[in-house]
Amino acid sequence: MKKALITGITGMDGSHLADFLLEKGYKVYGIERRTSTKNRTNIKHLEGKVTFLMGDLSDQNSLLRCLKEADPDEVYNLAAQSFVGESWNTPEQSADITGAGALRMLEAIRVYEKKVKFYQASTSEMFGKMEHLANENTKFHPRSPYGVAKLYAHWITINYRESYDMFNVCGLLFNHEGERRGKEFVSRKITDGVARIHLGLSDSISLGNLDSKRDWGYAPDYVEAMWLMLQQDKPNDYVIATGKDHTIGEFLSSAFNVIGIDDWKKYVKQDSRFMRPAEVYYLRGDSTKAKKELGWTPTTTFDEMITKMVKNDIKLLSGS
């Protein structure tokens, strides 16, 4: 039985990856950090199936202890301060966890001295200021403290691969969403807001810049790509994306359509509090390499994903 250790298991991707690996017959360990009130919303269903270990990406020894306890074949480093907007408020903490956190996990693996495959959650935010389709060779120009921190984590993962012959891969994942997405991200903020309007709990949604375009995929499709990367003969880095871009306006239109509203504009307010000091206006990825080498393609469409998210939020809010 293969063993996997996941950092960030309480998050959206971590919980989906645990579901996926359990299906594959893995023994799964997940690192949780200590918080004053436990948040197990995304992982309640994993209790009794996954072994939870206490650790923190800011604490090197805790990572080494978790590694020894799990003795994994594969480590998936998904933990991060992952909210781009917040990274301007806490740039140092974002650098420490999102950037140096990856280094701490890599160092733990290096001193552990057993062969462990390592996945790093890299991101399209590293491309940042781009205007065309991005692939693995596109130059980076991050636009936030988060993007800069992720770029450090990306390069240190590659550097440890080259320096110590470690099996390290980076998945350059474009935006992916789903029912377990945090409510501050624009996708879930919209689907939760639409559900509230539908149920008469609210009459509008306040958003920032509506002109950004994103390449939005569905999270359960994307965790499969992470696993596929670690099953290859040689470690390599891959862009994971749908290849299609949509504006936030199009996301709104699709979400309101689920509840039968066409004129969504009268329900949306613009609020400067949600604008960012520097914006990433356009992201669209070319995952030809992943398709060719991993056999990976996304299966859930933009509208299907949004329909699932809106229906799920209506169900959660109505308690049905």
Interacting residues toward ligand NAP by CB under 6 A: 7-8, 10-14, 33, 35, 39, 56-58, 78-82, 97, 121, 123, 173, 175-176, 182
**Residue 123 falls in the annotated catalytic set:** yes
Please state, in angstroms and as integers, the Cα–Cα distance from residue 282 to each residue in 16, 215, 287, following that order.
Answer: 27, 8, 16
239 binds, among ligand F7E, ligand NAP, none (CB under 5 to 8 A by kind): none
Min. distance of Cβ 12 from ligand NAP in angstroms?
4
**Residue 146 falls in the annotated catalytic set:** yes
CB count in 10 Å sphere of residue 199: 13
- Catalytic residue from among 7, 10, 98, 123: 123
Nearest 5°: CA angle at 56, between 64 and 157? 65
- Taking the C-alpha atoms of residue 210 and residue 198, their distance in angstroms, rounded to an integer, is 21
108 Cβ contact partners less than 8 Å away, ≥ 6 residues apart: 60, 63, 64, 67
Please state, in angstroms and as integers, the Cα–Cα distance from residue 257 to each residue in 7, 130, 210, following that order.
Answer: 36, 30, 18
Residues 149 to 188 in contact with ligand F7E, rule: CB under 6 A: 174-175, 184-187
What mask, x for binding ligand F7E by CB under 6 A, covers residues 248 to 267?
x-------------------
What is the DSSP-derived secondary structure letter of residue 99?
I
Tell me the window of 70-78, 107-115, 118-126, 133-141 that interacts with ligand F7E (CB under 6 A): 118-126
Among 2, 3, 33, 276, binds ligand F7E (CB under 6 A): 276
- Taking the C-alpha atoms of residue 168 and residue 170, their distance in angstroms, rounded to an integer, is 7
Closest CB to ligand F7E among residues 166, 207:
207
84 binds, among ligand NAP, ligand F7E, none (CB under 5 to 8 A by kind): ligand F7E
Among 123, 168, 287, 300, binds ligand F7E (CB under 6 A): 123
What mask, x for binding ligand F7E by CB under 6 A, covers residues 209 to 248?
x--x-x---------------------------------x
- Taking the C-alpha atoms of residue 282 and residue 131, their distance in angstroms, rounded to an integer, is 6
In this structure, the strands spanning 238-240 and 168-173 are parallel
184 binds, among ligand F7E, ligand NAP, none (CB under 5 to 8 A by kind): ligand F7E
When asked if residue 85 is in the footprint of ligand F7E (CB under 6 A), the reply is: yes
| Stretch (H or E) spanning 246 | strand 246-247
Contact criterion met (CB below 8 Å) for 66 and 31: yes
279 binds, among ligand NAP, ligand F7E, none (CB under 5 to 8 A by kind): ligand F7E
- Catalytic residue from among 10, 26, 98, 125: 125
Q: For residue 314, what are its two tokens?
A: 């209506």
Please identify every residue annotated as catalytic.
123, 125, 146
